[in-house]
Structure 1
Amino acid sequence: MKSILIIEDNAEIALQMKKYLINEGYEVDIASSYYEAIYNMNVDIDVALLDINLPDKDGHHLIKKLKKKDIRVIVTTVKNDEDFIIASLDQGADDYLVKPFSLAMLRARIDAVLRTIALAEDEFITYKDIKIDLIKSEVYFKEELVELTALEYEILLLFIKNPHRVYTRGQLLEMFWEDRDRFVNDNTLTSTIKRVREKLDREVITTVRGIGYRMD
């Protein structure tokens, strides 16, 4: 049974989520503050639902602490603000939900990040019509071999290992380009994503407007 930690100071919202997730088969605990969340991190947790606006300390400080314990983090917030969301993702959050959100959407997002935990480093990774041979570093789309550059391959591999996770442009920059200023001038990331889409499927990596990209 997968374990969920709800970090939320609104008791009504927290209890509503807890009741729903327990009925969906999850094991659920609630922390209503930063320090209560720190205490609860001592037990095994798979996913944390983190409300950034905590009463005792900014919840952003929790993201890296949770990630160090290999806990997936979904930020929940009332602030539908691009800079705020980007800051959360850059600090390591796996996904985000803007309140109010449906409980069905919450479960779908939890299931999506849980799939990244279960992904094993086998010989092949398959996602929809894409199959990657990890031994040979070959990519197949609808059973046809696709020629990718080394950079295109590494970017595709990142997304296919983390489906539904949003990566900001800043995160991708730091991962794949050392020269940040040159990238900004050349718009290299946009061009690289475009080439991957053209070689596979235009919908394989979707744009999250104003924030970055995700694989749906």
Structure 2
Amino acid sequence: MRIFLLEDDETLGFGIKAYLVNNGYDIVISKSLEEAKKNFTYDFNLILLDVNLPDGTGFDFLKIFNIESTPVIFLTVNDSEEDIVKGLNISDGYITKPFKLPILKAKIESVLRRVDGVEEKLNYKGLVLDEKN
């Protein structure tokens, strides 16, 4: 499973990537909208978006790339009711920082199960057996 992570905090991005890679995911990180324009392709299974970026927002990312079928989870410090409702209305999840990595992993798995239907993969220590592929 390929995940695109748009996160400007390098330490947090490194931690998320390391944790998810250790759990069998392939992660591509960008730290800004400009960098995302160079790194993003439409073959990701899930997108994790920070709302606050140095050159825009995660909401801007969705407009630029016209994301329709790929699931999106927002990761942000923005915890106002207005921001959460806005985020949930256009995404599959909204997690406020700080959060625990096992909770993020559980949310990712929940969203992917719902999108992909019954999970047909076996994941063990980074080795993934995918019945479909």
Same fold (TM over 0.5): yes
TM-score normalized by structure 1? 0.51
CA root-mean-square deviation: 1.6
Does 1:27 find its partner at 2:35? no
Mapped partners of 2:45, 2:73: distance in 1:
11
The aligned residue for residue 44 of structure 2 is 45
Q: Which amino acid aligns with 2:105?
A: R
The aligned residue for residue 67 of structure 2 is 67
- Measured against aligned partners, the alpha-carbon deviations of 1:80-100 in whole angstroms (never above 9, x if no partner) come to 11101111222x211011100
Moved over 4 A (4+): none
Size of the aligned set, in residue pairs, is 117
Mapped partners of 2:113, 2:55: distance in 1:
32
The structure that is strand-richer by fraction is: 2
Q: Which amino acid aligns with 1:19?
A: A
* Unmatched tracts of structure 2, length 5 or more: 119-133
The aligned residue for residue 180 of structure 1 is none
Does 1:117 find its partner at 2:126? no
- Deviation, 1:117, is 2.2
* Unmatched tracts of structure 1, length 5 or more: 121-216
Contact 1:51 1:76 in 2 (8 A): yes
Identity %: 37
Mapped partners of 1:94, 1:63: distance in 2:
13
Contact 2:4 2:27 in 1 (8 A): yes
Mapped partners of 2:37, 2:57: distance in 1:
13
Higher relative contact order (CA 8 A, sep 6+): 2
Contact 2:51 2:78 in 1 (8 A): no
